[in-house]
Amino acid sequence: MIPTNPPFVLPHFSVKTRNTRKETRANRTGARRPKTMKVLLINPRMPVYLRTPSLPLGLLSIASYLQAHGHSIRFLEMSAGNVSLKKETLAFQPDVIGISTLSYLSSIDAKEITAKLRRWTAAPVIWGGQAPSALPEVLLRDGKADYLILGEGEVTWLAFVEAMEAGEDLSDIPGMAYLKEGRLVVTPQRPVADLTAFPDLDWSLVQPERYFSSFFNCTKMLYLHASKGCVADCSFCANKRYHQGCNRSRDPKQVMRDIECLVNGHGANGIYFSDELFLPKRSVRNELMEMLIEKDLDLVWGCQTRLGVLTKEDLRLMHRAGCRWILFGIESGCEERIREIRKQIDLSKAKQAVDWCKEIGITVQTSFIIGFPGETPQEMQQTIDLAEALDPNLVVMNILIAFPNSDIYDRMVAENPDFHPPQTIRQMAKKEQVASDQVTDNLSRVPTRELHVVHYFFQWKAFAGKDSVEDESFGIVKKMAGDALNRIFRHGLKGFVFGTYHSVRQFCTVFFYSHSFPGILKKYRLK
C-alpha cells in the first residue's frame, strides 16, 4: 500500500538540532561530512526449552553492512550469556536501536525490551524480521515499536540511518511501516538485494561458540546461508513473500571465507545451510563444492532442497565436499494436492532421490504436511503411503499451521467468518509454540484426533527406530533428543527445570497418541 499522506518527518529526536551542529561544522570546513551514527542492534531472548539459540545471521548481516558504510555498531545477544540491557544502552548512547523479531515467540521479549528502552533513551526503536513483515499492524500496536522494516533489512536500514542523519522524512524509504495519527502506513515494497554486493560478515561482533549444537555427524554445528529465497510458489509458505519468490546466491568465495573463519577460527565442525532452497544454480553450487574439496576442512554439512534440483552426480560431488544430510520438502503424496498447493514437483522422482542419497551415504529426511484445507482421510492415506514407501532415514510429518503472509492464511481469513485474526503478539506466539505439533485451526476433513495420531506416530517411529548415522546404531531421533537436552542444560538451572519439564511432557504426549488409538492406526495402516 502506497501512503497518500503528506511526507512524514522522523519524530522522537532533535534532528534539526543535530543538523544545525553538523552544518556549523561543515561551514567551518567548507564541506559536509556525514555523521557516524551509533546503532544498537539487539537479538531478543527465546525460551531455551523451546528453541535453542542460533546464529542471528540476519542481524549480523545488517550490522556488517552498516559498519561497512562507516556507522558504529553495538551488538547485544540477549539469548546467550548475561547482558545488562540498561548498562549497555546508557554506555553506548545509541542514535537508533534495532531489534530482530524473526518469530512471534521472540517478539514477546522484544516488546519487553522496547518498554524498558523507553525509560533510558529517546532513540527510535525499529523492529525487523519475518514476524513484523507478516503482521505489521499487530506488532506496531502491541509491540510499541516506532517503525518496522519489512523484508530484508540491510539496504532499508542504511537508508533509514542516512535519512535520520540528514534530517529527511521517511515517505520515500521503501520497505517500512509505522503508525501516523493511529493509522497504519506501509511504504512501497523494496526490491530484494543483490547478495554479492554485501560485505563479508563481521564475526567479531558475535561469539559463534555460544551457538554450537550437535546434529547428526557433528557436535559443533552452526547455521549459515549461501543463498536466500525460493523460486516455488507454495500456497502454505510465508517465505515466498518475504523473499519475493526468487532465489539469490551469495558469492561462493565469500561463503567459503565464512566457513574457514568458523572452522579454523572458532572450531566449528558442522554447518547447516539455512537456505530455503540450497544453491539451485549448478555452476554456483559446484564452485563452492570444489573449494570445500580443495580446502579439505574437518567439516560436515547439510541443507534442504526440492525434488528435481539435484542429479546423482550432484549428490556425489556434494558428498565428496562433506554433505552428510539433506531434507527434501515433499509435503504430500497426493498429486492433486501437489497441484493445489502449487508445489511444482514430480512425485515420481522422490523414491529415486531418497535411494541415491542412501546409496551415496547422505542421511535423508523427508518433510510432509497433513491437514491441508479440504484434505480427506483418503488423501492423507496417500501421503502416509508415500512416506512409508520412500523409506528415508527420517520422516517429518507436520500438521499444517496457516501462518500470516501465506496464501492459505489469506484464504482462511476470507472464507471463514468465524475466524478472528490475532490481535496481540502473545496470541500469535501461542500458535507458533504449538506449530506442527497441535491443530490450531483444522481446515481439513480429517478429524483433529486422527491428525494428531498420525503426526505423533511418525515421531514415535523415528524415536523408537534404530536407523543409524554412519554406523551409529543409537538411533537418529534419540541421538538428536539427547543432543537437544545437552544444549538446554548448558543454559543454567532455569533451562534445566523448564527443559526437563518440556521434554518429559513432549515424550508423554508422543507416547500417548502413538499407543492409545489402535483403531486409528489400523485405519491408516500404521504399524
Judgement on whether residues 111 and 218 belong to the same structural domain of the protein: no
Asked whether residue 149 is domain-assigned, the answer is yes
Judgement on whether residues 104 and 221 belong to the same structural domain of the protein: no
Judgement on whether residues 145 and 237 belong to the same structural domain of the protein: no
For the segment 177-203, what is each residue's pLDDT rounded down to a tens digit? 999 999 999 999 999 999 999 999 999
Q: What is the pLDDT of residue 67?
A: 96
List the CATH number of the domain containing 122. Answer: 3.40.50.280
Judgement on whether residues 346 and 260 belong to the same structural domain of the protein: yes
pTM score, two decimals? 0.86
Q: What is the pLDDT of residue 82?
A: 72
The C-alpha torsion from 293 through 56 and 400 to 484, rounded to 10°, is: 80
Asked whether residue 263 is domain-assigned, the answer is yes
Asked whether residue 457 is domain-assigned, the answer is no
Judgement on whether residues 346 and 229 belong to the same structural domain of the protein: yes
Q: What is the pLDDT of residue 482?
A: 57
Domain count, the chain: 2
Q: What is the pLDDT of residue 41?
A: 97
Asked whether residue 524 is domain-assigned, the answer is no
Q: Annotate 162-182 with b (16+ C-beta within 10 A) or e (fewer).
A: bbbbebbebbebebbbbbeee
Judgement on whether residues 118 and 247 belong to the same structural domain of the protein: no
Asked whether residue 487 is domain-assigned, the answer is no
Picking from 402, 431, 446, the residue at the C-terminal end of a domain is 446
Judgement on whether residues 392 and 290 belong to the same structural domain of the protein: yes
Asked whether residue 202 is domain-assigned, the answer is no
Q: What is the pLDDT of residue 29?
A: 36
Asked whether residue 454 is domain-assigned, the answer is no
Judgement on whether residues 433 and 293 belong to the same structural domain of the protein: yes
Sites in the chain below the pLDDT cut of 50: 1-33, 471-474
Asked whether residue 243 is domain-assigned, the answer is yes
Q: What is the pLDDT of residue 491?
A: 55
Q: What is the pLDDT of residue 5?
A: 32
DSSP codes joined into one string, 472-514: BTT-HHHHHHHHHHHHHHTTHHHHHHHHHHHHHHHHHHHHHHH
Judgement on whether residues 224 and 110 belong to the same structural domain of the protein: no
For the segment 434-477, what is each residue's pLDDT rounded down to a tens digit? 765 677 778 899 999 999 999 999 999 887 776 655 544 345 55
Q: What is the pLDDT of residue 9?
A: 34
Judgement on whether residues 243 and 289 belong to the same structural domain of the protein: yes
Full domain range(s) for residue 377: 212-446
Picking from 382, 411, 446, the residue at the C-terminal end of a domain is 446
Rounded (5°) CA angle 142-147-153: 120
Q: What is the pLDDT of residue 487?
A: 53
Q: Point out which residues pair with 323 in neighbouring strands.
A: 301
Judgement on whether residues 221 and 179 belong to the same structural domain of the protein: no
Judgement on whether residues 59 and 151 belong to the same structural domain of the protein: yes
Picking from 427, 446, 465, the residue at the C-terminal end of a domain is 446
